[in-house]
Amino acid sequence: TTDNYTNTESSAASDVYKRQVLDEKAVAYLNTDGNSRGFASVGGSHTLEPFFNEVLKAVEDPQTGVSVDERLRARIQVDGPPERRDALAVRKDLRISPLGSGSDYTPFLQHAGIASANMAFGGEASDGSYHTLYDTYEHFSRFRDPGFAYGVALADLAGTATLRLANAPVLPFRFAGLADNLTQYLTEIEKLADDAREEARRTNRMLEEGVYALALDPSKRLGAPAEVPEVPHFSFAPLMNAIDRVSASARTLDAALAGLDGTEDVDLAALNVRLYQSERALSRKDGLPGRDWYRHQIYAPGFYTGYGVKTLPRVREAIEAELYDQVDDEIAFTAGVLDAFADYLDGTLAFIE
C-alpha cells in the first residue's frame, strides 16, 4: 500500500488505521520461516490450495530437474502416510496443511482473517540446530543447504506466488478444495468423539472389574484412575448440512470463475475484493472461547498445543476438554459460520452473473 498516515495523538488510532488498511486491501500474506534441502511444503488457507498446486508445478527442483510438485508426489508415494497416498489417486490437488501458529502469519490469518501461506523446503537435512549456538552459517552451508540451492528454490516458489497474485486479472481464490478439507476435518472430529466414548467405556469397565487393582504394583503409590464421564452422542447434522451448502456453492462459483478470462463485462475490481475478503467471512470479532484475539473459526493453534493446529476448533476442543455440555452449542455456532460463508459465496457469484 502507498498510504501514509501520521498520528501524533494516539498509537492506538494508528493501529486501528493499519488494521483498516489491511482489511480493505490485503490480498494475502505469504510467509517463509526456515528452510533446508528436500521437498516443498506449503501450509495455509485452503481458499488458495489450487493456486499453490499450480505454483508447485512451475518451480524446478534443483536436485532432480523435475517440478517440486512431481518430486513431492513421488515422496508421498514412497513413504507418505496412507491417507495422503490414497488421496493421490482420487484428488487432483495435493492437500496443503492447515496453519496453527509459530510464525509471522499468525496475526494475519488468525486475527485479521487474511488468507495466508507458509512455504519451505525440508526433509533431507539434519535438524537440531534451531535456536542454539550451532545455528551458524557454517552449519547451514555444510549440512542444511549446501550451495544454497534450496534457498534459490524457495525464492522461486515465493516469488512465483507473489507475482501471480499481483498480476492475476481474476484473483486465484477457489473454494471447492476448502469444502473438501472441511469434510475431512468433520470426519476427524466424529472419530475423535467415537474414540473418546469407547475409551471412557473401556476405562470404566476395567474399574468395575478391578483390573487396575490387579495390574498395578501394590507397593507403589500410583493408583487407578478416577471414573471417566460417559461421552454422549452428538448430532453433527447441522455441520454436515452447512458443509454440504458450502460445497455446492463452492462448485458453482469455481465453475463460473474458471470461465472468466478478464474480457467479460464484469466488474473485476469488485469481484476481486469479494474473493480476497472471503477469508474474513470465516472469522468472527468475538473470537474463540477463552481467547477472543483468535478470530478465525476454521484454523487455530490449540489452546494447550502451542504451535499445533486445531481445525474447527470450537467443536474439536470442546470434545477434547470433555466440555460435553458445550459441544452442541459449538456445533450450532460453527454451522452458522459455514452457512453464512455459503451465503457469501452465493453473493460473490452474483458479481459474475
Complete DSSP assignment for 70-84: HHHHHHHHHH--HHH
**Averaged pLDDT, 305-323:** 95
Distance CA 119, CA 228 (A): 42
**Averaged pLDDT, 291-314:** 95
Confidence at residue 204, expressed as pLDDT on a 0 to 100 scale? 96
| Cell numbers describing residue 189 | 472430529
Complete DSSP assignment for 199-220: HHHHHHHHHHHTHHHHHS-TTS
Q: Quick check: 263 pLDDT over 80?
A: no
| pLDDT, greater one: 253 or 11 | 253
Strand-pair category, 116-123 with 29-32: parallel
What does the pLDDT look like over 204-232, one tens digit per residue?
A: 999 999 999 899 998 998 889 999 999 99
* pLDDT band, residue 92 (cuts 50/70/90): very high
Confidence at residue 131, expressed as pLDDT on a 0 to 100 scale? 81
pTM of the model: 0.92
**Amino acid present at 30:** L
**Averaged pLDDT, 297-323:** 95
Complete DSSP assignment for 274-293: HHHTGGGGGB-TT-BTTBTT
Confidence at residue 10, expressed as pLDDT on a 0 to 100 scale? 63
Q: Quick check: 308 pLDDT over 80?
A: yes
Mean of the per-residue pLDDT values of the chain: 93
What does the pLDDT look like over 17-62, one tens digit per residue?
A: 888 999 999 999 999 998 999 999 999 999 999 999 999 999 999 9
Closest CA to 326 of 232, 244, 213: 232
**Averaged pLDDT, 282-294:** 96
Confidence at residue 127, expressed as pLDDT on a 0 to 100 scale? 74
What does the pLDDT look like over 139-176, one tens digit per residue?
A: 999 999 999 999 999 999 999 999 999 999 999 999 99
Confidence at residue 257, expressed as pLDDT on a 0 to 100 scale? 96
Sheet holding 38-44, edge to edge: 29-32, 116-123, 38-44
Distance CA 167, CA 223 (A): 65
Confidence at residue 9, expressed as pLDDT on a 0 to 100 scale? 58
Confidence at residue 2, expressed as pLDDT on a 0 to 100 scale? 41
Confidence at residue 58, expressed as pLDDT on a 0 to 100 scale? 98
Complete DSSP assignment for 221-273: S--PPPPPPPPPP---HHHHHHHHHHHHHHHHHHHHHHT--S-SSS-HHHHHH
* pLDDT band, residue 134 (cuts 50/70/90): confident
Closest CA to 120 of 134, 107, 130: 130
Confidence at residue 5, expressed as pLDDT on a 0 to 100 scale? 45
Confidence at residue 1, expressed as pLDDT on a 0 to 100 scale? 39
* pLDDT band, residue 16 (cuts 50/70/90): confident
Distance CA 334, CA 98 (A): 17
**Averaged pLDDT, 55-75:** 97
Please give the sequence-ordered ranges of beta strands (E in DSSP) within 106-156, or none if there are none.
116-123
Distance CA 54, CA 174 (A): 12
